[in-house]
Structure 1
């Protein structure tokens, strides 16, 4: 046992354990001898039940008969399958006579759940020996799945006065490691297993102590639609291990644990965001962002869902924006007032594609004189210029944080929003509401109140919602009575239809209206449609129809732009129906007609005064 402990002591993540913890691991470790040629783990078989450490010898990592990597002394394997409970993705074969230490899953999980263990697993994801995507059958990258998909248990939600004894009992019954505390006024706190040990048991507090006295408040929360890879990095950066997951309406769906994310992310595109985080100059960011388009092509080759590809594109934009703000502030100094940078439009909804430009806005908190505004404007100009250099051009119609219309104080934005809701007939009111309700904080998340929440009161303004519904009918799918599609007859795009304006835009606008009627502010289009169906502001069948149409149209949009990128052309949204195969052309025609049918039903409701 002493020999085992000495060997593990100098190797991560065991090097971060105290002597007692190391001895506990060594005590349960078993020595495993593998003659050369032994098949230790077979690809696709049952989940791995042990973490193994190579003591001496060598092991081959094999995928579909191809050797991808070799493991030597001190290297670990099996953690991804063990944590996730999923079948092994690789075979492991002894390349020579090999000795391993085999550590049971229960002990291994305790090691990997500690901060050093989490960092070790996160780093190992970057070096995962996955073959090139075009060389193997694709596997959906779990790091780009919404975190809502990873929730394992129903949430335990307590009132502030709940005794810690009762909270602990409910957590045990639910198999949960944390309880959410619903605080008066709408805030959320959280109490974890560790809090109960450190703040109750260690302090000898009574079991009747209210949870509000030992909770962490406010709790960091995460939207259900955010991707697991991005959230994992955020958790590691913030040093937090539990995150309540909220639906677009603010309801707690469950609590996400860091181990859930590590288990679900056996491979990912972390390297892009990591390269961005390491950048020291704008030129470094330009170099890092050049990896995005090749990554999009590789993901498309692997048949990763278009929604995931769009999400990755948006995550990279977020990372670039944050790093540009950091570099700018380091160079010119922190502005005198705190501020938040908002992504707007498709980037805010995480639905951006290679052709998407960057809509943005800036919110500052407190009072700013002209000098302070000049400081903010200088930061905004540097960030916008940096994004342009990285291949993310600003919105050509002026929805950009450098414009006075999109750079205001929180009080200014709030007053304008209330004015737009009260009188939506004002010039550009509906356009501005449509943009700002999408707004998602990218930088300065904790600087002040979230601006999109101002629009949650839209349900109390039926006149506004009726006009927003009419506004949502402004874009019509390109269908005709005598022809399958209405295409442009002349100019650069003759014989083509606009997938964004005539296809996706009608769905996005309807989802925004129905979502706001349900009390949802910033969210993706599918999330808004689900919330609208749940709240009854849109019939469930119509919500399903629009979701299916959205998925098809986004998939076609990504397919079209990927082919343009391969051909060295600038990506756009103008697709020639004649280039589609008959099955896809038929599906597109039916999607357009289905969206038109939903629009007609909404129009009838408007005339009847139901909406």
Structure 2
């Protein structure tokens, strides 16, 4: 699918070990002044300190902040300005993955560790990429500092430019969308925080669903949301719904539209007390052939709690246990494998026969969706719904659902097809036109067309393999 797709560009292909700097250590009893001298002599921007609570880091920002704190002097022990624990990244991780972690946590330094967990270096934001690729972190800081919805709307206005710049720099599509999702997560949190709410309503747990939860949302993707609230709010659903409507309006003002198909926190199907969610789980798992059961699977597997995480996470763990029933998983696998990739015989594709998209292949439904469903099903079968589709596929090998070779083939197919869909989105983003998931196969260059065909065949082959592997694990 082109050089950028297969190689991810020079930046996307490099590991953090190739870009890391030597460690600068300060003793646990060193003073702020002594540590600052070490930093200056090494011409670096952070020092590491081994404290009783674990490995700690003090950055140039921490040293500058200490000058403004009247309670601190040059003779204060450096541990007083350190952050514990430090964020780390494996030395074999690629640069985009490190950038994603920085954007997610709003930090400028990561300690690089070996496979044994030992610190071997430090990578800074400025070491990872050009100024253009650093833009998402700058956007994140503006989002975090916004004091009103108007300021927040202004802070998000450059997100599209950041996406285009990362793509131009050679960052693979899934990595770009991961970084974008980390910023969008914070936007959702900030809209909730900046939207006035009655005291009790502020205890509601906001959940992201679907591609946003998997961090695979494209720049023009809408936002699927759900709510879970404690028993104290059971008799105040209208108040909760009214606040949810105001939040969704705030998200739309910031460029994050609600789901047009109704997967929104304002709908009773997606907004319930914890007790109501538990009752729905019991009802849906007892009828695995129902539409409600399939909806339950999507909610449990594709969700992330952004506010009041304990409530949302406890609820989903309880629901996850119910969905691991063998009968339920059998029924869900049947639904999953009914979604067939749009590949025809030889070098042909299954395309739309009528309508406005006649002769075109739907990349969303005919290419990506079968893989997303496989990942979702494996997540529930394994009892671990966290992570992206790629994460879930790779965990499938540990459950004996895939061989390592099949997992890598499926990941490669998903990455190739996602890149093609992403490139379509970028073209629409650059031109200001509406994004479309349909593609005319004849419009693709021969290499991309071959990659797409091979990817679809790989998905079909692995669907058959998963069916056989699951049948061999026990009776239906």
- TM-score when normalising by structure 1: 0.60
Counterparts of 1:92-491 in structure 2, within 5 Å, are 108-110=47-49, 117=59, 119-120=61-62, 149-150=89-90, 227-233=100-106, 266=128, 268=134, 269-328=136-195, 331-336=196-201, 338-370=203-235, 372-447=236-311, 449-457=313-321, 460-481=324-345, 484-491=348-355
Change (3 A) 1:397 1:457: same
Q: Which has the larger radius of gyration?
A: 1
* 1:30-58: CA deviation from partner (whole Å, max 9, x where unpaired): xxxxxxxxxxxxxxxxxxxx7447xxxxx
Structure 1 residue 379: Cα displacement? 2.2
Q: Distance in 2 between matches of 1:509 and 1:281?
A: 39
Q: Determine if the alignment matches structure 1 residue 492 to structure 2 residue 356.
A: yes
Structure 1 residue 388: Cα displacement? 1.5
Structure 1 residue 114: Cα displacement? 6.5
For residue 24 of structure 1, what is the aligned residue in structure 2? 34
8 A Cα contact 1:335 1:376, kept in partner: no
8 A Cα contact 1:477 1:502, kept in partner: yes
Q: Distance in 2 between matches of 1:544 and 1:610?
A: 28
* Helix, strand or coil at the partner of 1:570: coil
Change (3 A) 1:346 1:422: same
* Helix, strand or coil at the partner of 2:31: helix
* Helix, strand or coil at the partner of 2:420: helix
Structure 1 gap segments, 5+ residues each: 1-18, 30-49, 54-75, 84-107, 124-146, 153-223, 243-252
Structure 2 gap segments, 5+ residues each: 1-28, 66-86
Structure 1 residue 332: Cα displacement? 3.4
Change (3 A) 1:525 1:225: farther
Q: Distance in 2 between matches of 1:364 and 1:122?
A: 42
8 A Cα contact 2:209 2:224, kept in partner: yes
For residue 72 of structure 2, what is the aligned residue in structure 1? none
Q: Distance in 2 between matches of 1:566 and 1:536?
A: 43
* Helix, strand or coil at the partner of 1:446: helix
Structure 1 residue 335: Cα displacement? 2.7
Structure 1 residue 150: Cα displacement? 2.7
Q: Which structure's relative contact order is higher, taking Cα pairs within 8 Å and 6+ residues apart?
A: 2
Q: Distance in 1 between matches of 2:125 and 2:160?
A: 27
How many residues end up aligned between the 2 structures? 412
Q: Which has the higher helix share?
A: 2
Q: Determine if the alignment matches structure 1 residue 552 to structure 2 residue 416.
A: yes
8 A Cα contact 1:488 1:495, kept in partner: yes
Change (3 A) 1:327 1:537: same
For residue 595 of structure 1, what is the aligned residue in structure 2? 459
For residue 82 of structure 2, what is the aligned residue in structure 1? none
For residue 21 of structure 2, what is the aligned residue in structure 1? none
Counterparts of 1:534-545 in structure 2, within 5 Å, are 534-545=398-409
Change (3 A) 1:546 1:610: farther
Pairing partner for 1:78 from 44, 56, 61: 44
* 1:483-538: CA deviation from partner (whole Å, max 9, x where unpaired): 51122234332332111111111001011112211111232111111111112133
8 A Cα contact 1:318 1:442, kept in partner: yes
Structure 1 residue 148: Cα displacement? 8.0
Structure 1 residue 459: Cα displacement? 7.2
Change (3 A) 1:603 1:21: closer
8 A Cα contact 1:438 1:452, kept in partner: no
Change (3 A) 1:420 1:297: same
Q: Determine if the alignment matches structure 1 residue 567 to structure 2 residue 431.
A: yes
The more displaced of 506-515 and 596-605 is 596-605
Change (3 A) 1:386 1:322: same
